[in-house]
Amino acid sequence: MTPARDNIIIRKTELFADRVARMYRYLSEKRAGDKDMLKQIVRSGTSIGANVSESQFAQTKPDFLTKMTIALKEANETRFWLRRLLAYGSLNQKEFDSIANDIEEIISILTTITRTTRENLRNARNEGNCRNGKNEG
């Protein structure tokens, strides 16, 4: 297992969760913001890192894929809420661009991880079928 400090997706999602928590505190204290929307982005934004962290102790490769897929879905939801915060004026363009770059990078990494894992699982299943005399066509 790669130590957390050397694993880029763990590091990025932990830093992103911290950033979302600080953004929540700032917007709820310093600016009028929709509290329900802010709570949603904290839930989804911190859930990304929680699922990535949990994936590191997955019992099987399919379990790993499930956790990473959930993290990807949470990242997509977070992107949605960030866009809403911009649209409603809770974030200005510069603030949005800064955090949006982070979530786009996380989504890109998670997309690659889930795609590669899915392909590896499919290939392993196909190799197993060939070894067992089953041909998939």
Determine the topology of domain 7-130 in CATH.
de novo design (two linked rop proteins) (1.20.1440)
Give the confidence band of 87 by pLDDT, cuts at 50, 70, 90: very high
Q: Out of 6-10, 31-35, 124-128, give the one with best mean pLDDT.
A: 6-10
Query: Alpha-carbon dihedral of residues 16, 17, 19, 20, nearest 10 degrees?
Result: 120
| Angle at 98 (CA atoms; ends 97, 99), nearest 5 degrees | 95
* pLDDT tens per residue across span 41-56: 999 999 999 999 999 9
How many Å is the Cα radius of gyration of the chain?
18
* pLDDT tens per residue across span 63-86: 999 999 999 999 999 999 999 999
Give the confidence band of 35 by pLDDT, cuts at 50, 70, 90: confident
- Write down the pTM of the prediction: 0.86
Q: Is the pLDDT of residue 3 over 90?
A: no
Kindly list the domain boundaries of the chain, sorted by start residue. 7-130
Give the confidence band of 30 by pLDDT, cuts at 50, 70, 90: confident
Q: Is the pLDDT of residue 1 over 50?
A: no
